[in-house]
Structure 1
Amino acid sequence: MICRIWHGRTSRERADEYAVFLAQRAIPDYRSVPGNLDAAILRRDEGEVTHFLTVTHWVSERAISAFAGEDVLKARYYPEDAGFLLEFEAQVQHFDVVAGQASR
């Protein structure tokens, strides 16, 4: 299993709206791809900036490529992100999951 992590930053004043956008648009998009096991959005407010992490689990890089394209480490953005994000990080991080427990 592969854990894919994307990081983005938005202004604190737009963070609530961006969180709703991610829940309504990004989560269903990830979950619609065969091989996606789960998706979660994490949030941390830090002064006037809010950090978001999108954490997804996938069965394989092949499954990730169905979502992200040939370059599986390239970050994928939605057109709406331009109105929220302070910058566009080019890469995501992938980790092999070596231990864990699924919820019941």
Structure 2
Amino acid sequence: MITRIWHGRTSLQHADSYLDFLLNDGTREYRETPGNLSIKVWRRKEQDCCHFYTITEWESMDAVKRFAGEDYEKAVYYPEDEGVLLEFEQKVYHYDSYDVTKK
């Protein structure tokens, strides 16, 4: 299993609306991609900004590539991110992951 992690930051002013976006349209493409196993959205507010992470799990690197393309380490952004995200990190991170929950 492959875990893909993306990070972005917004101002506190945009924190709630961006969360709504991520919980709906912002993760639609993940949900529609064959081989996606799970999607989690994490949010952490700080004094001057709000951090967001999308943590997705995939059957294989081929499944990740169906979502992100051949340049799969490059972050995927949407038009709704413009004017909301404080910066556009270029890279996402991938990890081999192992579920031992039911071991």
TM-score scaled by length of structure 1: 0.93
Written as runs of structure 1 = structure 2, the 5 A alignment for 1:93-104 is 93-101=93-101
Q: CA deviation at 1:101?
A: 2.4
- Secondary structure of the residue aligned to 2:45 is strand
Shift of 1:31: 0.9
Q: CA deviation at 1:24?
A: 1.1
Matched with 1:12 is: 12
CA distance in 2, matches of 1:101, 1:41: 20
Number of aligned residue pairs: 102
Q: What is the distance in 2 between the residues matched to 1:46 and 1:93?
A: 23
Deviation (angstroms), 1:48: 1.6
- C-alpha distance in 1, partners of 2:100/2:82? 35
> Tell me, which stretches of 5 or more residues in structure 2 are unaligned?
none
The residue that corresponds to 1:57 in the other structure is: 57
User: Could you tell me which residue of structure 2 aligns to residue 83 of structure 1?
Assistant: 83
TM-score, with structure 2 as normaliser: 0.94
Stretches of structure 1 that go unaligned for 5 or more consecutive residues are none
Query: What letter is aligned with 1:34?
Result: P
Following superposition, the deviation at residue 98 of structure 1 comes to 2.8
Structure 1 residue runs of 4+, over 6 Å off?
A: none
State the identity %: 51
